[in-house]
Amino acid sequence: MKYLLTGGAGFIGSHFCEYLINEGHKVVVLDNFNDYYSPQIKRQNIAGFQDHPQVEIVEGDILDGSLLDRLFDRHSFAVIVHLAARAGVRPSLSQPMLYQQVNIQGTMELLERAKSAKTAKFVMASSSSVYGNNKKVPFSEDDPVDHPISPYAASKKACELIGYTYHHLYKMNITCLRFFTVYGPRQRPDMAIHKFTNLIAKAEPVPVYGDGTTRRDYTFISDIIDGIAKSVQHCSGYHIYNLGESRTIELHALLKLIEESYGKAAVIDRQPMQPGDVNCTYADISRAGNEIGYAPKVDIRDGVPAFIEWFKHHHED
């Protein structure tokens, strides 16, 4: 099959592209290599497959309607996996209009072309951020998500709503995946595990927001890739799935695990809680397990050392 993979040079996208290659699929990767973090990192992400015969790399923007029209004229996509987005809760507070434009309008640009082309399956990335500071844990897909606490979270919820609209009006098969803090080799440098490891390696202060008791449901990249693949396989109608490990770890315990895995103590810099941050993320994955066979395998006590091993190999002086 032929896939359109947006954001395919990013952390999750590059791993999923490798999976598709190994499965024998053809992939058109669309990525604008923006400077949210170093474009050079994204180019390193795709270095292993940029010249692969099954892959076409297109450097461009999901907001570029003319480019999208040319791609859909040239290719007949069986599946669209839409991972491109402006990411991050805190940056969305200072650039809310950019997040609205890229995440919401960009998704609609793709849905419009998929509708016209009658693309069979459309799988898009959402986020655990849509749950806000939900008091009920673990978070279930049936929980109300009407109180997002960041523009990023609101944009992701909007994409889910728009996806349902296109399913309802045009009978499109659409699946939305609520990712819970994905980590592993090639993780974005702004995300906690990578950021903390990098600061510990440099003996620089590690900012700890709050009292260290905030909890996150960290999900290893291989489990996310498996979840995306199963979502594509079962994409029919309209569905929302949580993809997490369905376990949580407190911030201070995560830091201790990173310290032990790296073999070096952190210099802690205590900071107040930041606007937009949530106290806990915790995925109920029973629906994904029952309906698509999602079953995460990598415990964080194994995943963090695996990330540290990758980090040390790729950050040698």
CATH code, domain carrying 70: 3.40.50.720
Rg (CA), the chain: 19
- Quote the pLDDT of residue 316: 55
Q: What's the pLDDT score for residue 317?
A: 45
**Is there a catalytic annotation at residue 19?**
no
- The pTM of the full predicted model, rounded to 2 decimals, is 0.96
DSSP state of 5: E
| 38 domain residue, yes or no | yes
CB 81 within 8 A of CB 28: no
Residue 94 lies in a domain: yes
Q: Is residue 204 part of a domain?
A: no
Number of domains in the chain: 1
Q: What per-residue confidence (pLDDT) applies to 277?
A: 78
In this structure, is the dihedral angle defined by the CA atoms of residues 133, 138, 140 and 144, taken in order, positive or negative?
A: negative
DSSP label of 280:
B
Residue listed under structure tokens 């590059």: 14
The residue whose two tokens read 């890229």 is 102
pLDDT score of 196: 97
- Does 174 reside within a domain? yes
Check residue 195 and give its pLDDT.
96
- For 43-107, the DSSP string reads HHHTTTTTT-TTEEEEE--TT-HHHHHHHHHH---SEEEE------HHHHHH-HHHHIIIIIIHH
Residue 261 lies in a domain: no
Catalytic residue among 3, 36, 131, 152: 152
Spatial contact of 212 and 251, defined as CB atoms under 8 Å apart: yes
Is there a domain that residue 303 lies in? Answer: no
Give strand ranges (E) for 184-266.
Answer: 205-209, 215-216, 219-220, 238-243, 249-250
The domain containing residue 37 runs over which residues? 2-180+221-245+278-297
pLDDT below 70 — which residues of the chain?
316-317
**Per-residue pLDDT at 218:** 97
